[in-house]
Amino acid sequence: GAGVSQSPSNKVTEKGKDVELRCDPISGHTALYWYRQSLGQGLEFLIYFQGNSAPDKSGLPSDRFSAERTGGSVSTLTIQRTQQEDSAVYLCASTQSPLSTDTQYFGPGTRLTVL
């Protein structure tokens, strides 16, 4: 079956512009995670959605970052007033259940470049 998909695959934007990144999780997966991978850095947890519960936003780096998940499926990560330090690959992952032992399936990522 289809895996996690993300769009766009690449996004180049100018400093100060807003961007929206989309994630389509695997159908039926209840948990969805967003991560950021900066050049030469590890994966940084941003936000976690579980079903219709309020998301865990503890990893969002600033109030310019927000995310929503509509209908318990598709998720959008929005970055307002982008800065050059926001340049990174943004990865989305989904799991079938919220249990920590469940396998996370990652999408291919969106490479964001802020000029």
Partner 1 sequence: QQQVKQSPQSLIVQKGGISIINCAYENTAFDYFPWYQQFPGKGPALLIAIRPDVSEKKEGRFTISFNKSAKQFSLHIMDSQPGDSATYFCAASTWNDMRFGAGTRLTVKP
Q: Which positions lie near partner 1, rule CB under 8 A?
A: 4, 33, 35, 41-45, 48, 50, 56, 58-59, 91, 93, 98-101, 103-104, 106-109
Q: Which is nearer to partner 1, 20 or 102 (CB)?
A: 102
Q: How far is the CB of 54 from partner 1 (least distance, A)?
A: 12
Find residue 92's DSSP bridge partners.
34
- Smallest gap from Cβ 77 to partner 1, in A, equals 15
Q: Which phi-psi region, left, alpha or beta, contains residue 83 (left: φ > 0; alpha: ψ -120 to 50)?
A: beta
Judge whether 31 and 98 are in contact, CB under 8 Å: yes
In angstroms, give the least distance from the CB of 114 to partner 1.
20
Nearer to partner 1, 18 or 97 (CB): 97
Whole-angstrom distance, CA of residue 77 vs CA of residue 23:
8
Residues 63, 64, 70, 75: is their CA dihedral positive or negative?
negative
Nearer Cβ to partner 1 (79/91): 91
Residue 16 C-beta: closest distance to partner 1, Å: 28
> Do residues 37 and 45 touch, judged by C-beta distance below 8 A?
no
